[in-house]
Amino acid sequence: MHRWRTIIALVAALATAPAAAQLVPGIPGVNLPGMGLPTEPLLRTLEETTEPLVRTATRLLEERTDRLTRLIRSNRDIIEVDIQGEPARRGELLVLDPSPADLALIRTTGLGVAESEQLGALGITVVRLTLPKGMSLAEGQRLLAERVPGAQVSADNLHFQSGSAVGSVAAQAASGGATIATPVGMIDGAPSTAVAVTATRGFAKGAPRASNHGSAVASLLRQSGVRDIRVADVYGTDKAGGNALAIARALSWLIGDGAKVVSISLVGPRNSVLEKAIAAARQRGVMVVAAVGNDGPAAPPAYPASYAGVVAVTGVDGRKRALIEAGRALHLDYAAPAADMRAANAKGQWIKVRGTSFATPFVAARVAAALQTGSAPLAKLNREAEDLGPRGPDDTYGRGLVCGGCARR
């Protein structure tokens, strides 16, 4: 399993290289430079070996596209795509730390300056702009890039939970492991009242509101020994929940409230506001742990897992096999249990869960435990991690499996 992502990438590279011209009927095969092997037989062998894996990766990517398309079509009043084709809150743009001169220029474009917000714990300012009726996000972004080239402008991109609950209800799992007192923040949906947390605050319409996903992540943190959990609900009942500004606000609150580790089981596109918020959190010594998502290896790199300094987490099943649906990030740090296990739902019932979302709290708990002992977190996790796949770090398991025995089956 650990080789299939590399093989898929190799097939794609060969297929797009100039040497792949022999795939066109009537054009003879050529040798790959330095390999002394005929390209056509090599490609045929690779294609036959990897066809099921490539088919799975393609299916996952198509499912992602279909899911986003349905979301946008059914919520046209509040969601649209930005200049990159990524879903975002309709009719609003964000400007990061604008200068007075930038704001003056923005006011000449016809866009409205709706709100300026200081994210105090992060030391950054975000100004929310409103677009004139009939102007798309892409048009607004192009206009500002032309008229206010010095401004850092982004859409308010949406982020999505990266895991699902399946199967039947089971008996509640007992908490295990040593007590971890380090404050851990969580950005997600709100947990069930059956999961004990220190504080919950809402950053979306209708929040806080108990969700299956948020309940599962919180329960796994609790199960791993974390006793001080602060939850920021960025979804509530908002169809455009999980947006970049809500996550940045949540991060500012959690840091101001004392969180030393923040677990984020959400994925979305690169966003300048959120990137700056996470960089500010890292500068303040806060460890951010994030999932790589479940859209497969052909999906775009997942953020916030791909931001510099974030601990990127993938998942394995009960037999320590990489989840075939695991997404990717620009770097990968660790794997953790993510399937064949149980966690709480919004009703406080324990059900089966699957997805890299549910690996993330295990790694966050181990980071918090390391901080509690005064250890350098990543150095401690590197010593704890069980090396899987090829010897040493790899792009399937990162530096190895963390907390392999933490899951309750």
Residues carrying an active site annotation: 188, 213, 357
Distance of alpha carbon 368 from alpha carbon 184, whole angstroms: 7
Closest CA to 311 of 271, 272, 352, 368: 368
Distance of alpha carbon 300 from alpha carbon 296, whole angstroms: 9
Backbone angles phi, psi at 268, to 5 degrees: -165, -170
Closest CA to 296 of 326, 334, 333, 336: 326
Closest CA to 158 of 82, 98, 215: 82
- β partners of residue 29: none
User: Using alpha carbons only, what angle is made at residue 324 by residues 319 and 328, rounded to the nearest 5 degrees?
Assistant: 115
Distance of alpha carbon 311 from alpha carbon 334, whole angstroms: 8
Q: Which two tokens stand for residue 115?
A: 């709100």
